[in-house]
Structure 1
C-alpha cells in the first residue's frame, strides 16, 4: 500500500458521507428557494446558532417572536395586519431552512472527526475535507449577513439581492466541491479527454454565472415581471434596462436588467451546449456533452414556462432544482475532461 493511500473501505464510507452531505445541501437549496418565494426569510430576526435550534414551544413564545417581527420594515410596509397563523407559516419556512443548515454542520463535523480518528484522511484529503467544512461555516455567517440587510433601519422589505446571490452561489460552490471530491474518490482512474477541456470549463463557468444571475432575478422577484417571451414588455431590449435612479446598479438591482441578462446568458449557454454536443459527438466525452446539452435544453424550456406563468412556487422550485442538476452535470464534464494532476488517493 502506497504511503498516505486511502483504503477502499475508507473511500467507500467517505463517499457515502459526501452523498449524504450533497443531498442535504441540495434540500437546503430547495428549502431556501421556497423561503425566498414565500417571503419568509426575515421572519426570524435574530441569529442564534445554538439557542435558535428550538422553535417557540408555547403561545407566549410565539407572541414574543411575532412582536420582534412586527418591528421589521417588511411587516410595516408589506405584511401589516397579518395574523399569528400567517406569521407562523413564514416562520416555519425560515426555521426549517436554518435547521437544515445546523444539521449539515453537525453531520459534517461528526463525519470529519470520525474519519480523522480512524486515520482515513491521508493523501491530503484531510485538508480538503476541512476546507469543505470551513466553507459550510462561512455559509452560515453569510446567511446571517444576507438576512441582516433586511433588518434595522432600512426601507427594504426583502434581503439585498447581491447578498442573496452570494449566499446561493456559495451553497452551489459547496455542492460542486462535494461532487468533485466524491468523483475523485472513485478509485478507478479516469481517461482524460483534453480535446474538450476548454469547452467544458467554459460551459461550467457559464452555468455558474447563469445560476448566480438567476439568484438576482429571484431576489428582486423579477421573474414575476415582464412575463412575455421572447420580447420583454413588447421590446427586444427593455428601454429602461438602465434605470435613472439606479445607474450602473441596475445590473444588480434593476428588474429589467437582471431578467434580460438572465435571458441572454440562457441563450448563449443553450447554444454553446448544443454546439458542443455536436462538435464532440463520437469522442470520449460525447455522452457527458450530450447529457449536459439535454439538461440545459430542458432547463431553458422550463424557464420559459416558469416566466410565462409569473414564477409560481412549484414551477420556480423545479426550475431552481433542475438548475442545480445542470451545474453538477457540468462539474462531471469538467472532471472527465481534466487530466488528473495526481494519481487517485484510493488504494487499488
Structure 2
C-alpha cells in the first residue's frame, strides 16, 4: 500500500511538507501543492482519516446531526448541504437521532464528534445550555439550520411569521373556524420550529379577534400518518373547522387524505394549508407557505466551511457570523378557497 513516505520520495520533499500540501494548509506554494497532489494521485495514495487526526490535520468529513432523516425537510436540507460539501472534497457522516433523547445526548454531549470530523451541521435542534457548553468546548466548528447557538452561524426562516402568512391567507378567504395541526407538546427532541409556528397561529387569530378553541389544536407529529389521524379527529367534531392549517406539508397531505376518505370536498367544504412547499405540493394542489429548503442546507454548509477555513487565521483576522433568515412566501393553490357560511361537513352541523 502506498504511504505518505512514498509520495515524499517521489517529489523529493519532506513528509511534513507533503502532509501540509495534501491537507491544503498554509506555508506551501501552489506549484508545490499541485505537484504533490498529482504525485499522490499517480501513486494511488489515500490519506487515512485516523492518521490525519493523529497528525493534527483534517478528516475531510462533516457530521450532520438530524432528528429524523426520513422526513422530507431534513432529507432535503441534507441534500443541499451534501452538494456543497462534496464540491469541496468533504464526506458526510450522518447521525439520525430518530427522536431518541439518549442518542441525542450521546452525539451532542460526548466525545463521539470530537475527533471524527472537521465540523458539525445541526439540523432543527436547539442545543440546551449543557450541549452548547460542550460543543463550544470540545467540538469542531458548528453550523445550524432551523436553530441558533451563540457564536455559531445559523440559517432559518422566521417560523412564526411563516405561520402568520398562512393564517392570513385563510382569514382573507373569510375563514373563521380555523384549526391547527402541529407537533406534540412533548416532542422528545425539543424542536424550536413547532413552538414558533403554534405561536404564529395563536397570535394571528387573537389579533383578528377570533377566540382560540382548544379542540381546534391537535398534533400531527410532522408526519403524513399523524396528519391523517389529526384530520380525522377535527372533521369528527360537532362543530368542525372550515379550514385546517398544518405546520408542515406532510401533515397537510395526511389531512387531505382524511378529508377524501370522509367524502369532504376540498376546497368546497374544507380548505387545507401547509408550510414547506413539499416536492409533492404542486402536484396535489396544496396551498402552502414556501421556504427555501435546499438553500438552507447549502448556506449552512458554506458557512461551516468558511468557519473551518478561518480557524487557520489569526483571531484578529476572523469574521464573526450571525443568523441568516431567509424569506418565506405564500403559494396559493387549489386546496384553499373562500369560506361558505352554509358549508358543512357531511353528517355534522355548521354554525
Q: Which has the higher strand share?
A: 2
With the length of structure 2 as denominator, give the TM-score of the two structures. 0.23
With the length of structure 1 as denominator, give the TM-score of the two structures. 0.24
Higher-Rg structure is 2
Give the structure, 1 or 2, with the largest relative contact order (CA under 8 Å, sep 6 or more).
1
